[in-house]
Amino acid sequence: MSTLLAHVKIKEGFEGHWEAIAQRVFSATHDNEDGCVRYEYWRGFEPRTYYVLLSFQSFDDFMIHQVADYHHNTDFRDCFEDFNLEWVDPIEDASPLIQSETSGETKEDKGEVWNNYVLNHSSEIPEWWLEHRN
């Protein structure tokens, strides 16, 4: 499983536009991706802050999401004032999710967009996660 939390701050005046995109991408993701476990958007307490929880059955399922036309070809990046994508790891017996897989391999047959996402989003599993996993 691959689970991430996106921390997003939207440019002033873009909140409605961002939320409309979020609704479309949420629906398309859940309608089209069998590997999607959780994909949810939330407003944060501070103005113009949002969070997105993404959880997929595998790193490759996360990549399928990343390169999907309804995700990759949106203008939502134009809305960002700040964006941080953070790998998260569920605590056993305190979450219904399972341990995060944080990296993948490039694949010749998947093309440049896929491989760029793999390179840009892969990360080593933090040592402290491994120390606390059962």
pLDDT, tens digit, for every residue of 69-112?
A: 888 877 888 899 999 999 999 999 999 999 999 999 999 999 99
pLDDT value, residue 87: 97
Name the E strands within the chain.
2-10, 36-43, 49-56, 80-87
Partners of 7 in beta bridges: 51, 84
pLDDT value, residue 73: 72
Q: Is the confidence at residue 134, as pLDDT, over 90?
A: no
Query: For residue range 23-37, what is the model confidence (pLDDT) as tens digits?
Result: 999 999 999 999 999
pLDDT value, residue 85: 95
pLDDT value, residue 71: 86
| CATH hierarchy code of domain 2-132 | 3.30.70.100
Dihedral (C-alpha) 57, 8, 107, 34: value to the nearest 10 degrees? Answer: 30
pLDDT value, residue 75: 84
Which residue ranges make up each domain of the chain? 2-132
Vertex 52 angle, CA 47 and 53, to 5°: 140
Q: Is the confidence at residue 42, as pLDDT, over 80?
A: yes
Mean pLDDT, the chain, whole residue set: 94
